[in-house]
A = this chain, B = another copy of it.
């Protein structure tokens, strides 16, 4: 049985190009014309491969979570709360100021406040941010690592709040050096220590 005409593009390259656009302009600020220009595909091909602008965005966010945002996994594997926090903060400082990517974090600036057309993408990003909170909370909840009067959830939200602040400031033009310096300051004395 016939296989049909093969794709003239590489899905990964297209997702990579679309990622940069969504990252820089946000979901609502990105137009199909932007995506068409960045991917060098006609709108019809994008619809054929991804179903809709929203479908493309979802796959882009998947890719982002797995790759660019993946420093979290390394941090979670560290063997002390301090080391977890250090890797998380350094990872955030670097990930939000990559020279080859737009500044900031897609999960934060992709659709923080959403109009009617972006409710679902916004909820998707929010859920993914929440995953980080849950994972970090579980990590901090491991026995005997935090003082007993410190709530692991508070500690997790604290570290994540800082990294989200990094994302906002990176999007505002802060340099990697400034963010790293801020991380160093925070690591002078973690609040539960």
Contact = CB atoms under 8 A, between A and B. Distances in A.
Contacts of A163: 165
Contacts of A25: 113-116
Nearest to A150: B185
The complex is assembled from copies of this chain, and their number is 2
A97 B171 CA distance: 23
Nearest to A115: B29
A187 B182 contact: no
Contacts of A188: 191-192
A30 B157 CA distance: 30
B178 A185 contact: no
Contacts of A193: 189
A45 interface: no
